[in-house]
Amino acid sequence: MSIGERLKQLVSPLRGTPLSPVKRGMYSYMRDSDGRLSRVHLRVEPDGQGTMLVNASTAARLTRSGVLLVKGLLEGVAEEKLFTAARRAFRGTTKAAVHQDLVRLTSLLDEMTEPTGAYPITSMSQFMPTPRESQLIAPFKADLSFDTVHSMDPILDKLWTIGVPHITLLAPKDVNQDVLVHAIEHAEDLGMITGVRGRGTDLNRGTLLERMGQAGLDHLTVLHAASTAELHDGLCGPGDHANARATIARSGELEICPVVQIPLTVSTCRELEETLSDLEEMQVQHLSVFALATTGDASEAGDTEAIHSQALPGLCQQLEALASETNTSLMWAPPVTADGTQSAAEQICAGPRCTGDVTVRVEPDGSVIPARGPWMAAGNLLHDDWETIWSHSAFRVFRERIAEPRACAMCPGLAICESGCPADPDGWTSDGVTKNA
């Protein structure tokens, strides 16, 4: 049983006023458990329900009463005062019920802060209610196209204000190291969980890794196409295989959580088993995967590396089985529609638009792009009201897909199917797959 399921049982939905006793928004805390500090985010939705994230790696859903009690626990409020607040908000509350819930919630917090080394959550179905159960104020993560010249502080500030606790900076070629390190420092100062994604060649430069670690970087996603250097370098650039492996090893030494991003193409799938075995020897525990996909003949997509949609479910099933055998966590990004105007190598280096369904893409100019579908700006983070952006039709379609995932009998139980069949091009990304190149 998941933590979220247990918490839903632990905290009873007390009857009471429909008004939320806790103001909507994002709350950030540091919790000391036996000398070990953990970062806790509590996000309260408009209806008073909430989500608690610990180090962005474990999460639990909260009822309105659960939000009130957890917030009090994290702020050190005395039990008597919490009982008074709960009694005002929820009719029929008793001291015994509040005490019992506080004991169980304290135990749950202790369990969630155990050092499991888990990577930040990317699958909405892992912990979130459907939009029909609880209205969401914002996504839980943003992938940011990196601006190599201008400060990203205004975008980071706005994301934190609207309730986004987790960001990943998409490092381009020739990244400005000073601007990148400053962005990490600023996100850390805000209380965000912060990651960087890029090629080993672009990350393993001078003292950049050490500087990012000192700035507070939480996780580093490194592109790794294949176990053999020849295949990897052909897709990711000359010498990148050695740089990728060095980056993975050094990030672990610096206590930055290493994540390997694997592109699924015709060639890389031939070496899939060897690649995962190789990564297991390197003690890599977290994989982020995306497929370069097409609905027609691969040659029509401009490159013979694109995988046909009908082959995707079987490949996903194979990869999930391999990951299970190696006890590796697997995170799926929406498939990328092969672009006939660019090579597979260009699209692979660009990577997926977003790393998961709890994520939005934000461009340097403030444009906000949904995780799936055509490249469509739902609005501008720096100029438009967030409520207007969040109510855009692109996000309504997105929420409908999450609310009613499409399962089929051919490959039941696949994690990638939670937000729709991988063979369905309506759920892929297209038009702009190389925006972060």
Residue 437 confidence (pLDDT) above 60 = no
Is the CB of residue 208 less than 8 Å from the CB of residue 188? no
Sheet holding 36-44, edge to edge: 25-33, 36-44, 50-54, 58-62
Locate 366 and state its tokens: 């403030």
Is the CB of residue 289 less than 8 Å from the CB of residue 332? yes
The SS3 of residue 60 is strand
Percent of the chain with pLDDT over 70: 81
Residue 269 confidence (pLDDT) above 70 = yes
Task: Provide DSSP, 336-362.
Answer: EEP-TTS-HHHHHHH--S-SSTTEEEE
**Segment 14-35, tens digit of pLDDT:** 433 444 588 888 888 888 877 7
**Segment 391-406, tens digit of pLDDT:** 898 887 556 655 555 5
| Helix 79-89 / helix 64-74 crossing angle, nearest 10 deg | 160
What is the per-residue pLDDT for 185? Answer: 95
Helix (H) / strand (E) element for 166: namely strand 166-170
What is the per-residue pLDDT for 56? Answer: 66
**Segment 198-236, tens digit of pLDDT:** 999 999 999 999 999 999 998 999 999 999 999 999 999
The SS3 of residue 294 is strand
Is the CB of residue 362 less than 8 Å from the CB of residue 143? yes
For the beta carbon of residue 302, count every other beta carbon within 10 angstroms.
18
Residue 292 confidence (pLDDT) above 70 = yes
Q: Residue 124's pLDDT band (boundaries 50, 70, 90)? A: very low
What is the per-residue pLDDT for 129? Answer: 40
d(CA 207, CA 49): 44
Percent of the chain with pLDDT over 90: 41
Alpha helices in 113-197 (DSSP H): 153-162, 177-190
Going 65 to 71 to 74 to 78, the CA torsion angle's sign is negative
Task: Provide DSSP, 240-282.
Answer: HHHHHHHHHHHHHHTTPEEEEEEEE-HHHHHTHHHHHHHHHHT
Residue 95 confidence (pLDDT) above 80 = yes
CA distances for 52 relative to 30, 55, 256, 290, 306, angstroms: 13, 10, 23, 28, 39
What is the per-residue pLDDT for 51? Answer: 83
Is the CB of residue 235 less than 8 Å from the CB of residue 270? no
d(CA 146, CA 201): 16
d(CA 299, CA 137): 43
d(CA 377, CA 394): 8
Average pLDDT, the chain: 82
Among 56-60, 61-65, 267-271, the range with the most confident prediction by mean pLDDT is: 267-271
d(CA 85, CA 75): 14
Residue 362 confidence (pLDDT) above 90 = yes
Residue 245 confidence (pLDDT) above 80 = yes
What is the per-residue pLDDT for 270? Answer: 93
d(CA 435, CA 153): 20
Least confident of 162-166, 295-299, 389-393, 396-400: 396-400
Q: Please count the helices (runs of H) and the strands (runs of E) in the chain.
A: 16, 18
Residue 247 confidence (pLDDT) above 80 = yes
Residue 125 confidence (pLDDT) above 70 = no
Helix (H) / strand (E) element for 103: namely helix 95-112
